[in-house]
């Protein structure tokens, strides 16, 4: 009988330890997925806030260009 097909014997206490470790790994994996989801949600909120800031800065820039044009090129109006 080749070694690959021979039965493997494991002590019951070691088997229970392996099951406990597997459950712990599954729990940690679930926690990691939840944490990653929260990080992704925060990143999306941050991206939205940065977009608002960018839009606000563009608006200020347009207004400054307009004021600059009015002050230094009155004939253009």
What is the DSSP code string of 13-39?
HHHHHHHHHHHHHHHHHHHHHHHHHHH
Q: In the predicted model, is pLDDT for residue 3 greater than 70?
A: no
The average pLDDT across 53-68 equals: 96
To the question of pTM greater than 0.75 for the whole model, the response is no
The pair of structure tokens assigned to 17 is: 């330890």
pLDDT value at position 76?
A: 53
Average pLDDT, the chain: 90
Element (H, E) at 68: helix 12-72
Q: In the predicted model, is pLDDT for residue 6 greater than 90?
A: no
DSSP assignment, residue 6? S
């Amino acid at each position: 009988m080749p070694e690959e097909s021979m039965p493997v014997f494991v002590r019951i206490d070691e088997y229970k330890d392996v099951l406990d470790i597997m459950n712990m790994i599954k729990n940690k994996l679930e926690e990691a997925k939840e944490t990653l989801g929260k990080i992704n949600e925060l990143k999306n909120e941050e991206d939205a806030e940065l977009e608002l800031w960018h839009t606000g800065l563009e608006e200020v820039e347009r207004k400054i260009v307009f004021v600059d044009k009015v002050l230094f090129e009155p004939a253009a109006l």
